[in-house]
Every structure is written in structure tokens, then in C-alpha cells.
Chains A and B, each alone.
Chain A
Amino acid sequence: MSNNKSQFSAVGKRIPKLDAAQKAMGRAEYIQDIKLPEMLYGRILYSKFANANIVKIDTSKAIALPGVHAVLTGEDVPEKMKMGFIKDNPPLKKGRVSCFRDEVAAVAAISPEIAKKALDLIEIEYEELEGIFDPEKAMEKDSPLVHEHLKSNVLKMPWNIHYGDVEKAEKESAFVVEDRFTTTWVTHCCLGTSGAVALFDASENLTIYTNTQIPSLAQKDFLEALKSMGLENKRVRVIKPIIGGGFGSKLDTYAYEHIAILLAHKCRKPVKIVFDRAEEFKATSTRQPTVIYIKQGCDKTGKLTFRDMRMVLDNGGHTSWGATTPSVMLMPISSLYTVENVKYNAKCVYTNNTYSQAMRGYGNPQATFAIESSMDILAEKAGINRIEFRKINKNHSGDETPQGLKITTCGLAECIEAVEKELKFDGKNEKGIGTGIASLIHVGGGARIYGSDGCGAMLKMDDYGKVDIFTGGTDMGQGLDNITAQIVAEELGLLVEDINVVHSDTDICPWDVGAHASRSTFVAGNAALGAAKKVKKKIQAFASKLFDVPADQVELKGKLVLVPGDPEKSMAIGKLLRKAHFSAGGTMLMAEHFYDPDNQNMGKELKGNMSMTYSFGAHGAKVKVDEETGKIEVLEYVAAHDVGRAINPLLLEGQVYGGVVMGLGYALSEEVVHKNGENMNANFRDYKLFTAKDAVKIKAPIIETDDKDGPFGAKGIGEPGCVPTAPAIANAIYDAVGVRIFDLPITPEKVLAALKEKKSATTKI
């Protein structure tokens, strides 16, 4: 733990979320609350089949319904208007539907009820085709094609790397284990459902209110959309309302946004589309499901010799971020624990299932489930204690991993120790009770996925010592507003209440690549800090003249500008600011800073130091297995993370608790149930998200390694909380009753079936 915490006035303080009171009182304005004059309501009609030709669409009855202003189909979408990073997904489908959630028509009407009625009046004739639902089958040479203009269902992706020599290392290994794991579709379940309000001004410039984690990139996407509509050189303004949760679900731009834009343009009125909960479940993208084949080996002393992993990813009917999760999965595959020889191949395969996008962890939870389960299996084969095994292979500060990740601060050892301290790993538990451990590595200092990993901040001070800071960052409930305010308050010696964080509008706020990769505290934090530092210099320069001392002797503390040790040379900051402003040649103090971390894009071999620093963690779980019903009870859970520095321990704990509960649901109960591509559990009763009663008591030790590149030493913590939960649980279950589950979620049925199999196997002997 850092020993100079007491010197901070704002950083390190447990300050409740700045908009908490608003939200609790029901006064926060979400997309659901936005109402504009003359606004129309849009609704989307989805496909009735997983795979079908659209033979005929008759919208005449819908258009004729009083109150309906527009009805659109795939025919009305400009040819070049496509979504997804490979641009294979038009917002309304023409000619063919490739999954149940495909959008086939949309209406805008004066009320939501009339919009729904209009949808019912649209007549579509489909020619149903046989659906393809198994990605491993879809990969085969003679498989029918999901998209007939392509030669294969397998996407052309660069996910094929080999560092070192895995074959040689395998031959030289003393112990090798090989297993198959699967993870399935789960979904974000944000408190606030998706929605957007689009409107054009008299010059056909677009303003769009939308829940987005990528305001600047969305702006770019929408400019392209306008271009495809024949609207060149227009402006796009993206405004974010208060967002009821993101978790990665808002990192792309979506059909409902493009459709709102098309409808708004056609109707010459604002159009609002908001999802109901069933729609949210069915029509938003899930976490990327995986089929994972993993082989790992170690030498006699327990040092890992190689890791060979192969994956098949169900890409669904169209492409979103799911197909890029291998770029992040490569991080734990090559760099969780030290292993020199790494091979990784991932195939993304089109099917007629739903398609996936970013979700908290972005592939890391999936890969870590396989790696950390396999580590326990390998440790057992090698006859080495599973904690010892991890310590033997732990990452160190100063390492450069096979992928080229440069490890700076590394608190992995301390995290493992923190878990050991809380839970017993000596194997002497009561019957049916067991403990498990799993670690994580994640990017903690940004992630250079695009050409820029930057964020801009602009800061201005008023005449009273209050600050407005305009940041490109996004708060979606995770607390970027607090972090920004605390960092600025700390640097300028102000109170957090004095800082107004504005992050809502691309007309006002600078560019940011997006709230992903747990980068907000690190990157947006550094941008804010940089701007605050610049303003501080200006204040120091002015005070230097005023107090007649060198500028570097001036300090900002407790809303004062002062020279320590000289009580005469002290002035309330507001007074100083007014002096600066209301005099001949007056000035107001403002500054801007664009921070782009010194990390690297991955090159051809997908090598490069993707992030400036990495966050580490270790989770430990103690479970009780009911051998009659197969039900798992989580008795204790410890989640220790190396966060560099906790800017706000209260919010940090919130991130950890939330991440752990999300991870436990992922491990034990959550699953989007599909029957031939159709979502069967589009509600909270049938989708088994953990309820408040299922949540467990979580201990969250905070390890501070004070990273020199992070703002006040901080690294990212947004995602790590849900990364190693599944293997920690799987390992604990194995410790408890000797069965291992390889397929998530670990349901009572699977545990019971495994117990039965074990029993019959042992009785056979």
C-alpha cells in the first residue's frame, strides 16, 4: 500500500457518485425521458425466421394507418449504409434475413401504440430456408453458406499467431494437459434499455441523442451514414443523456440509431426509438460465445513451457465486435503468467444465430476460463500445489511477454497472497466444500486498438474558483465524472463540489476514442490532469508576480493560492482569479490537453505493447456443493486487484462488486437460451441474472502499486472484476467434489451429471 495517501485531499477519498442523488430521486434524464417538440416514435419489425428469403413486403396498410408518418424497408436504405467494422450489416435487411433479430422494416408514428399497430399491418412473405446453428459444422467445406455471395462461412481474420516454437516445447515438456472448454451467450442486462432520438436541422445537420460509449467514433459513423444518404459536408452532433449502464453494449453503432436517422430525415421531425426489455434481450448483441481447445505444458519444476490454444467463434448472422475479441484474448493467452512459446488460432464463423459485440472483458473472461481451469489441471498432473504453481509462473515487473507487452507495475504476487490470506487452500475443508483461485491480467493503461488511443480535455475557471472541465470521456454509471472531478480538485487544491464535469456533447467536448478497455481513469484521467497542470502553471505564474516569489514556490491547497511558510503570501483562489480577470489586459484561466498514451498498435504478428501498463488481480472462491441437487453455494469470495492507486475506493469497490456478481452469473446461471436461433428467454424471469438475494459477500482488497504513468498512479479497474470469476468457481468445485465442468454456465444439472459419472466410473473399478 502507498504510504503517502494522507497528503491527498480529494484523491483516495470515498466520494459518492456525483449524480447519485439525481438518480435516486428519479430526476436523472435518460434517453427514455427525452421529449422533443413534434417528436415521432419509431419501432422496428424483426424477422420471423433465422434464415429466409424476403419474397415480398407490403407496407400499404401500415402507411395508410392514421398517425403513421413513414414506413421503411431494406429498399429504402442507401446501398453504402452499413454497420460493423467490416461493413456487412445494413440497418434494414434487403432480400434475405440471416438471424431472428434482423431488422426488416421500421415505422415512425405519432404515438408508440400506433407505431406498434403499424408494424402488425406490415405483410411480409418469407421463403424459409434451413438454418445453420453450429459454428463447427458451419466451418466444414460442404456446409451451406449463410451469406451466399461469400465463398465460405469463415471470416478472413488475422487471428493466427505463433511465438517461439510450440511443437518443440511440447516435446520437451514433462507434463502436458489438453482440454476443451465452451462458453455461451450471455447479455449485458443494462438497467437502461437502448434508445436514440435523431433530428435534423433546417440545413440537414444531424443531432442524435444516444446511449453511446463512443461519442466521437459514433459521430464518424453517422457522418458516413449521412454521406451514404447523399448528405455531404454536414455536421453531426452526438449528445449523451445519462446512460443506464454500458458494459460494452454501446461500443458500436447500431441499427436502431441508423433507422432513427433515416426516419427522422424522411419525416422531417425528431424520431425516437427506445427498446422495451424483450427487445433489449433479443435485438442487442451478446458476449462472444467460444469453443476453446487448449493445450498447456510445464517442465518438472512446474515452469510453463508452452500454451497452444485454438478457438471457434460463432459469428452469428452479421459482424460486430465479437469477431475482434481474439485481439484481446491474445493478451491472457500470451501473457497471463510467463510462458515463452505460445500458439493461438481463432476462426470466426457465420451462422444464423445472433451476433456478438463487446462485453466487459472483451474475450478475456472466456480465454481466462480456459487458461485458469487448465492451470489447475496441469498443476495436479505435475503434482504441484496450485497456488505454488501460479507463483512459480507469475508475471514480474520488467517482463516483456511474447506478445510484446511491457509489464511495468505488477501486483500479481500481492494479489495472490491477499487471496491466500482470506481463504484456506490446504485442502482440509468439510465435505462438499472447496476453494479455488484464478488470476487475471488486463490492460490498465489504455489500449491502442485504433490509430489513436487519446482523449482530450478542456478546462476553464470562472471568477470564483469553480471549474468546468469538458472531457471526451464517457460516464455510463461507472464513475468517470467522479474520477475527473477528484483528479482536477486534487491538482488545483479545490473541493470536488467545485468541479463541473461536462462529457455529454460532441459540439463541446473534445475527441475520445471511447469508454472501453478500462481506459477511462487512465487516459481521460491523464487528459484532465494534464489540463489541470497547465492551468496550475498559469495560476502559479500570476501568483509569482503577485507574491514576488519564484512560480514553483506557489502551492494550491484548500481553495487557496499560497506560499508555504509565509502566511502573508496567501490568497483565496477566487480573489486571485478576479484579480487576473478584472484588470487591464485581463485574462481568464483556461487550458486544454490531449493525452494519447505511449502504447503501440499491434503490428503484423499482433505484437506490440498494446497498453502503457497492465492491471493484475487474483480471485478466490469458497463454494459448497450440494451433492443431491448439484446446486452451488458461494460461501466466500475474495477479489484482489492491483489498481495502481484507488482514486475513489468507494467507486472502485462498486466496480469490483458489480464485476464479481456479473462474473458469478456468467459462471453459474446466465445463458441466453436459443432454440434454432430463436431467443427463448427474453425476460429477467427466464434469463437467470443474479438477484439481490443471490449476491454474495465479497472482500475486495485493493493493492496499490503506484504506476508512474497513471494519473496519481492509477490503472484501470472497469473490467477485471468479471475476468477470473468463472475459473475460480470451477476450480473451487473441483476442490470440493472432484468434478470439473468445462462448459459455462456451471448449472446444477451439469454438476449432478458430472458427479453421477464420477460415481459410476469409480464403482466400475
Chain B
Amino acid sequence: MRLPRFKYSGPETLEQALDLLNTHKDDAKILAGGTDLLVRMKKGLLKPKVLISLKALNELSYIKKQDGYIKIGARTPLADIIASDLIQKEARALFQACEKIGAITIQHFRGTIGGNILQDNRCHHYNQSDFHRSGRQACHKDGGKICYAREEADRCNSTCQSDGATALMALDASLILAKKGAKRTVDLADFYTTDGIIPHAMESHELLREIIIPLNGAQSSYQRLAYRSAIDYPIVCAGVLLKHSSKNEIEEARIVVGAMSRSPLFLAQVSSSLKGKKLNDTIAFKKAADASMDSSAAFAVHNVGATLEYRCAMVSQMVFQALEQAAKCIKG
């Protein structure tokens, strides 16, 4: 499959990039590693007139500790995040998530954390070549009126399969979005529109600049299930954050289930049910895991190649494993 024609711009600084974005707006897309964008363009899913490459913007590639936060540039390669001592120790869920993304070659040469968060939602009915899609009515995400994943659905049910986003939401991360002359901070949880067609609350002239993770002495873990050991998106995944008191009790928990819905699902109720529980309360963990499954099952549709039954059942597995792992890190 061939790429549609486009104009390539290679800005040297962030200012230049924001300027270009401001000029072209909807006609332009940002190109980092391109592992999501270029594949979609080859399938004819989108045809931006201009690609603004971040290749020269090394200023967007960094990992630092500052003012009680971990700050990561959006264009930071996944390999850097995996190799970072800071992230392995203080934001372990992110480390575990990035380790599983793609394959080692992608992590080194192409994948960026920003790209992973901003990947488009997926659905095995939508992510097909334009020839395949030309043989049938267009679905919601493709500019039409029906949904192949859920009969009679009046909205798109595509899934967010980002490992990075799930882990970061568990870590209570925020994003810094920049546009020409201004920037704003938004909680990752608020960044999602829950609209399958346009999943991110971001203007076309905005660029993701930085990811901020609060350092609060909590431990985290990320677990994901996939068929193969490389390349595959998660069938289902879970990110968990546990903050503990001196009494080895859980002060705060954040349970996020990913790859089940239009955005990662932060399960507030299930998370708060763990408050006050002991770190070795396996029964409480099991209960929370099953409750997570119940809460997220309603959102899932058959659109990522695995059966619904299996995915839902595995939510419980992934959440449980993540809770156990995070608790172990605290004790260990």
C-alpha cells in the first residue's frame, strides 16, 4: 500500500513547529515515529496534506525530576523510558508498559511516549485497507452511520489500546499541550472525550509537549495480556497505583483498565473500595479485580480480535496481578 501524497515540513524548533501547526491546523498532522500515523495513511484512513516532523526537536526528548514531578518530553523514545532508573523506581507502571510496546526495534528507533498516548483508537472493522472498506457501508469512524462492532450502535465503539495511556492514568499523570504563544495543562483523565471518532480533547493546532507524573511515594504496576511477545496490542491491560500508610494499609488506590473502551477506564469506585485494606489482603484484591471486570465489561465490544468473554474474564486477571505486583513492590 502506498502513502498518499503530502507535503513534508521539518521544523528545527518547537516555535517553528507550533507556527506551522497554527498555519495548517486541520490539514496537518504531527509525525514523530510514524508507527501509527503512517500505517493509517497507507490504509487510506486519513490523508493529511502536511506532515510536520518532530525529527529535529530534541528539546522535546528528556526525562527529569523537578519540583516533585517526573517530567517527560513527549518525543522521548520508549527505549529511553525503559532505560531510565528514575522511571523504573518511581513510576514503575510506565516502565512496564513501555517495555511491552511493539518490539525492541520500534522502542529504539521509532516509538515515542507521546506517539503512544496519541495513537488513534482501533477496531478490526475500521483498521482495514480502503479497498476492504469500499466494499461496504462506512462506519461511524469512517464518516458513515453504522457500527460493525456493536449492532444498532449510534456511536463509534473503537478502542483505546495504548499501553502508555493506561499506565499514565494510573499514575495520575497530566499533559502539557502547547500551541502558538500559549500552553495548558490537562489531567490525563480529562484528556479523553470518550468519543471513538475523536478520542482526544485536543485542538488541531495544539501539540503534546510534556507528560508530568506526580511523585508521591506510591508504587505502581502495569500488566497486559497479548497473544504474542512482540508487536501485538494488548487484548486487555491494567494499571494500578497504591499509596500506603505507615500501618501497611492502603491510603489511596488507582485502578485503570485499558484496551476495553474508548479511553482507559479509571475505576473510581472500585479504587476507593480498597482504602484502608491491608497490603496483603488477597481477598480484597480479588474482589476489586472482579468488580473491575464488572465495571469495564459494559464498555467492551468485539473489535480487537479476541472474544469478548475472554477479554472480560482477563480484566480480573490483569487487575489482580497488577495489585499483587504493586503491593509486592511496597513490601519488597
Establish whether residues A691 and B230, one from each chain, have CB atoms under 8 Å apart when the complex forms. yes
Q: Which residues of A contact B228 (CB under 8 A)?
A: 669, 688, 690-691, 693-694
Establish whether residues A748 and B230, one from each chain, have CB atoms under 8 Å apart when the complex forms. no
Q: Kindly state whether residue B134 has any CB partner on chain A within 8 Å.
A: yes
- Name B227's contact: one of A669, A673, A752 (CB within 8 Å): A669
B18-26, B246-254, B303-311: which lies at the A interface?
B303-311
- Name A673's contact: one of B103, B135, B231, B305 (CB within 8 Å): B305
Q: Kindly state whether residue B225 has any CB partner on chain A within 8 Å.
A: yes
* Interface residues in B197-250 (C-beta closer than 8 Å to A): 225, 227-233
* Interface residues in B88-145 (C-beta closer than 8 Å to A): 103, 124, 128-129, 131-132, 134-136
Establish whether residues B2 and A113, one from each chain, have CB atoms under 8 Å apart when the complex forms. yes
A284-292, A306-314, A677-685: which lies at the B interface?
A677-685
The CA of A748 and the CA of B314, in the complex, are separated in Å by 11
The CA of A42 and the CA of B129, in the complex, are separated in Å by 19
Establish whether residues B131 and A46, one from each chain, have CB atoms under 8 Å apart when the complex forms. yes
The CA of A680 and the CA of B135, in the complex, are separated in Å by 13
The CA of A36 and the CA of B231, in the complex, are separated in Å by 37
- Name A48's contact: one of B2, B103, B135 (CB within 8 Å): B135
Nearest A-chain residue to B318, judged by Cβ:
A629
What does the 1/0 interface line of A116-159 toward B look like (CB < 8 Å)?
10000000000000000000000000000000000000000000
Q: Kindly state whether residue A692 has any CB partner on chain B within 8 Å.
A: yes
The CA of A628 and the CA of B317, in the complex, are separated in Å by 7
The CA of A629 and the CA of B318, in the complex, are separated in Å by 9
Establish whether residues B103 and A278, one from each chain, have CB atoms under 8 Å apart when the complex forms. no
Q: Which residues of B contact A673 (CB under 8 A)?
A: 305
The CA of A680 and the CA of B225, in the complex, are separated in Å by 21
Establish whether residues A691 and B231, one from each chain, have CB atoms under 8 Å apart when the complex forms. yes
Establish whether residues B307 and A278, one from each chain, have CB atoms under 8 Å apart when the complex forms. no
Q: Kindly state whether residue B1 has any CB partner on chain A within 8 Å.
A: yes
Nearest A-chain residue to B130, judged by Cβ:
A120
What does the 1/0 interface line of B317-328 toward A look like (CB < 8 Å)?
100000000000
* Interface residues in B283-316 (C-beta closer than 8 Å to A): 305-307, 309-310, 313-314
Q: Which residues of B contact A113 (CB under 8 A)?
A: 2
Establish whether residues A48 and B134, one from each chain, have CB atoms under 8 Å apart when the complex forms. yes
- Write the nearest CB–CB distance from B234 to chain A, whole angstroms: 12
Interface centre among B1, B129, B131 (most CB of A within 10 A): B131
Establish whether residues A749 and B310, one from each chain, have CB atoms under 8 Å apart when the complex forms. yes
* Interface residues in B1-33 (C-beta closer than 8 Å to A): 1-2
Q: Which residues of A contact B305 (CB under 8 A)?
A: 673, 681, 686
Q: Which residues of B contact A278 (CB under 8 A)?
A: 1, 129, 131-132
Interface size class of A (residues with CB under 8 A): 20 to 34
Given A278-B129, A680-B124: A749 and B229 interface contact (C-beta under 8 Å): no
- Write the nearest CB–CB distance from A412 to chain B, whole angstroms: 33
- Name A112's contact: one of B2, B124, B313, B314 (CB within 8 Å): B2
Q: Which residues of B contact A631 (CB under 8 A)?
A: 225
- Write the nearest CB–CB distance from A688 to chain B, whole angstroms: 5
The CA of A748 and the CA of B305, in the complex, are separated in Å by 13
Overall SS of chain A's interface: loop
Establish whether residues B2 and A688, one from each chain, have CB atoms under 8 Å apart when the complex forms. no
What does the 1/0 interface line of A659-681 toward B look like (CB < 8 Å)?
00000000001000100001011
Q: Kindly state whether residue A734 has any CB partner on chain B within 8 Å.
A: no
What does the 1/0 interface line of A721-765 toward B look like (CB < 8 Å)?
000000000000000000000000001110010000000000000
Establish whether residues A749 and B124, one from each chain, have CB atoms under 8 Å apart when the complex forms. no
Establish whether residues B310 and A752, one from each chain, have CB atoms under 8 Å apart when the complex forms. yes
Q: Kindly state whether residue A389 has any CB partner on chain B within 8 Å.
A: no
Q: Which residues of B contact A629 (CB under 8 A)?
A: 225, 314, 317
- Write the nearest CB–CB distance from B233 to chain A, whole angstroms: 7
Establish whether residues A684 and B124, one from each chain, have CB atoms under 8 Å apart when the complex forms. no
Given A49-B135, A113-B2, A681-B124: A748 and B310 interface contact (C-beta under 8 Å): yes
The CA of A752 and the CA of B309, in the complex, are separated in Å by 11
Nearest A-chain residue to B320, judged by Cβ:
A628
The CA of A735 and the CA of B231, in the complex, are separated in Å by 30
Establish whether residues A691 and B103, one from each chain, have CB atoms under 8 Å apart when the complex forms. yes
Establish whether residues B2 and A685, one from each chain, have CB atoms under 8 Å apart when the complex forms. no
The CA of A692 and the CA of B314, in the complex, are separated in Å by 25
Q: Which residues of B contact A46 (CB under 8 A)?
A: 131
Establish whether residues A752 and B229, one from each chain, have CB atoms under 8 Å apart when the complex forms. no
Nearest B-chain residue to A633, judged by Cβ:
B229
Q: Which residues of B contact A694 (CB under 8 A)?
A: 228-230
Q: Kindly state whether residue A276 has any CB partner on chain B within 8 Å.
A: yes
Q: Which residues of B contact A747 (CB under 8 A)?
A: 227
Nearest B-chain residue to A116, judged by Cβ:
B2
- Write the nearest CB–CB distance from B82 to chain A, whole angstroms: 15
The CA of A276 and the CA of B103, in the complex, are separated in Å by 23
The CA of A685 and the CA of B228, in the complex, are separated in Å by 10
Establish whether residues B134 and A752, one from each chain, have CB atoms under 8 Å apart when the complex forms. no
Establish whether residues B313 and A752, one from each chain, have CB atoms under 8 Å apart when the complex forms. yes
Establish whether residues B233 and A685, one from each chain, have CB atoms under 8 Å apart when the complex forms. yes
Nearest B-chain residue to A665, judged by Cβ:
B228
Establish whether residues A684 and B231, one from each chain, have CB atoms under 8 Å apart when the complex forms. yes
Q: Which residues of B contact A48 (CB under 8 A)?
A: 134-136
Q: Which residues of B contact A630 (CB under 8 A)?
A: 310
Q: Which residues of B contact A690 (CB under 8 A)?
A: 228
Q: Which residues of B contact A684 (CB under 8 A)?
A: 231
Q: Which residues of A contact B136 (CB under 8 A)?
A: 48
What does the 1/0 interface line of A626-644 toward B look like (CB < 8 Å)?
0011110000000000000
Nearest A-chain residue to B225, judged by Cβ:
A629
Nearest B-chain residue to A692, judged by Cβ:
B230
Nearest B-chain residue to A626, judged by Cβ:
B317
- Write the nearest CB–CB distance from B142 to chain A, whole angstroms: 16
The CA of A227 and the CA of B305, in the complex, are separated in Å by 47
Q: Which residues of B contact A691 (CB under 8 A)?
A: 103, 228-231
The CA of A112 and the CA of B228, in the complex, are separated in Å by 34
Q: Which residues of A contact B229 (CB under 8 A)?
A: 691, 693-694
The CA of A277 and the CA of B1, in the complex, are separated in Å by 8
The CA of A89 and the CA of B122, in the complex, are separated in Å by 37
The CA of A673 and the CA of B304, in the complex, are separated in Å by 12
- Write the nearest CB–CB distance from A332 to chain B, whole angstroms: 29
* Interface residues in A298-334 (C-beta closer than 8 Å to B): none
* Interface residues in A683-722 (C-beta closer than 8 Å to B): 684-686, 688, 690-694
The CA of A49 and the CA of B309, in the complex, are separated in Å by 30
Q: Which residues of A contact B231 (CB under 8 A)?
A: 684-685, 691
Establish whether residues B230 and A693, one from each chain, have CB atoms under 8 Å apart when the complex forms. yes
The CA of A686 and the CA of B136, in the complex, are separated in Å by 20
Establish whether residues B306 and A749, one from each chain, have CB atoms under 8 Å apart when the complex forms. yes
- Write the nearest CB–CB distance from A193 to chain B, whole angstroms: 12
- Write the nearest CB–CB distance from A369 to chain B, whole angstroms: 20
- Name A682's contact: one of B129, B307, B314, B317 (CB within 8 Å): B129
Establish whether residues B313 and A685, one from each chain, have CB atoms under 8 Å apart when the complex forms. no
Q: Which residues of A contact B307 (CB under 8 A)?
A: 749
- Write the nearest CB–CB distance from A85 to chain B, whole angstroms: 30
- Name A748's contact: one of B124, B128, B227, B232 (CB within 8 Å): B227
What does the 1/0 interface line of A93-120 toward B look like (CB < 8 Å)?
0000000000000000000110010000
The CA of A16 and the CA of B134, in the complex, are separated in Å by 47
* Interface residues in A612-660 (C-beta closer than 8 Å to B): 628-631
Nearest A-chain residue to B229, judged by Cβ:
A693
Nearest B-chain residue to A691, judged by Cβ:
B230
The CA of A274 and the CA of B1, in the complex, are separated in Å by 11
Q: Which residues of B contact A (CB under 8 A)?
A: 1-2, 103, 124, 128-129, 131-132, 134-136, 225, 227-233, 305-307, 309-310, 313-314, 317
List the 8 closest A-B pairs by CB distance, nearest first.
A48-B135, A693-B229, A691-B230, A693-B230, A749-B310, A694-B229, A278-B129, A688-B227
What are 11 of the A-B contact pairs (CB < 8 Å)?
Answer: A112-B2, A628-B317, A629-B225, A629-B317, A681-B124, A682-B132, A691-B103, A692-B230, A694-B229, A749-B307, A752-B310
Q: Which residues of A contact B (CB under 8 A)?
A: 46, 48-49, 112-113, 116, 276-278, 628-631, 669, 673, 678, 680-682, 684-686, 688, 690-694, 747-749, 752
Query: 5 more A-B contacts (CB under 8 A) besides A673-B305, A682-B129?
Result: A631-B225, A681-B305, A685-B232, A688-B228, A749-B307
